[in-house]
Amino acid sequence: MKKWLQKKFGTKKQSRYTVNGGGVETSRASYSFNGQDKKQRRTLLKKLNLYWSSKKDRGATSYQSAPEPKGLRKALLALSLVCVAGIFFKSGGFSLFGLLLEDIDYFRITEIKVEGCRNSSPDEIRAASGVMVSASLFSVDQQRITENVRKESLWVDQISVARHWPDTLILRVHEFKPHALIALGQEDRAELYYLDKNGYAFIKTTFGMDLDFPVITGFEDAGDQESAPAGLEGPLDLLRLAGTNNPNLPVQSISELHMDEQEGLVLYLVEHPFPIFFGDGDIRKKYVRLRKVLEMLYKPRRTGMDIGRVAYIKMDYLKDKVIVGYDESG
């Protein structure tokens, strides 16, 4: 070690403040140095300070890892929080958390708001929901509320729940929208029901209700009203296509869609009484062809075809062929 220090800082010459080279004279109270001695002493102290400073810096560097970028730390923290939150909610943590807070008065309901009613009333929905004022916001069950309301209001499809903390419950009502009418029952005693776009007959019509919709006939019973009756896919597909409101065949021009056992789907227009035989299958292709046929029939001067003389139109007369039958008496 001594040799290394000597090599590092140089060999110190014999000091003038030593006694015969044997060290400092201890009997003296103080020492004085000439200029050369002071210069040599300062140089030695400077080298020692530099040496120990460099040792200290190297030691600190060897035990400390490089600092991580702040952006990376924030990203890792955010990712960790998201993972923890996901595990918490997936394992039912919110329900457990709600159970712990259910009895706290601060979260008791003081107001129930109802939004989205068109044919049902807010008071009806509020009463049918089964939710009591003073109940805890944490105890609200959306599925149970929907089931309760649908028993009382046939217009309601779904109820969504929103909580306005700490004490307000909001019930958002999603009602069925009539897409067509369907006649159900024996022909002489058939009753009209509203039909939604998915084929669900949700409510029987009564006096004063809007009946300005296409009527689907040929079905005696809806069977399970939670699903469309068998064979209803064709009429629903045609209504969806007509819903694009092409000027030659808008949905408003359709009066009746009848399902016949032999002929399949038969279409009747509002302004013209003749039947249009669609048959079975290929509804989109036949709809596009019918639009073109009607376009020609609506322009008799240009095409020589008069829609007033038409007796029927068969969309499936032959493969890829349409036949327009005329009334000879006209």
Tell me how far apart the alpha carbons of residues 111 and 235 are, in angstroms, rounded to a whole number: 45
pTM: 0.68
Give the model's pLDDT for residue 258: 96
Same domain, 162 and 205: no
Question: Hey, what amino acid is at 293?
Answer: V
Q: Which CATH number belongs to the domain containing residue 144 in this structure? A: 3.10.20.310
- Distance separating the N- and C-terminal Cα atoms of the chain: 128
Place of tokens 């149970």: 144
Q: Enumerate long-range contacts of 252-259, CB under 8 Å, 24 or more apart.
A: 254/214, 255/214, 255/215, 256/214, 256/215, 256/216, 256/217, 257/180, 257/214, 257/215, 257/216, 257/217, 258/216, 258/217, 258/218, 259/216, 259/217, 259/218, 259/219, 259/231, 259/232, 259/234, 259/235
The mean predicted confidence, pLDDT, of the chain is: 79
Evaluate whether residue 154 is within a structural domain: yes
Q: Where a domain ends, among 116, 142, 175? A: 175
Per-residue pLDDT at 253 exceeds 80: yes
Any domain includes 259: yes
- Asked if 141 and 272 sit in the same domain, the reply is no
Rounded CA separation 277/165 (Å): 59
pLDDT, mean of residues 1-20: 43
Low-confidence winner among 170-174, 247-251, 306-310 (lowest mean pLDDT):
306-310
Burial (CB count within 10 angstroms: exposed 0-12, middle 13-18, buried 19+), residue 173: buried
Residue 231 lies in a domain: yes
CATH of the domain at 186: 3.40.50.11690
Comparing 75 with 158, the larger pLDDT belongs to 158
Angle at 264 between CA 261 and CA 267, to 5 degrees: 125
Residue 33 has pLDDT above 60, yes or no: no
What domain count does the chain have? Answer: 2
Is residue 64 assigned to a domain?
no
pLDDT tens readout for residues 63-111? 455 555 667 776 777 777 667 656 655 555 556 655 667 788 889 999 9
Q: What is the pLDDT of residue 42?
A: 57
Reply yes or no on whether the pLDDT at 221 is more than 50.
Answer: yes
Which of 175, 209, 228 marks a domain boundary?
175
pLDDT of amino acid 217: 95
Q: What is the pLDDT of residues 164-211, one digit of tens each?
A: 999 999 999 999 999 999 999 887 788 999 999 999 999 999 999 999
**The domain containing residue 211 runs over which residues?**
180-326
Output the pLDDT for position 28.
37
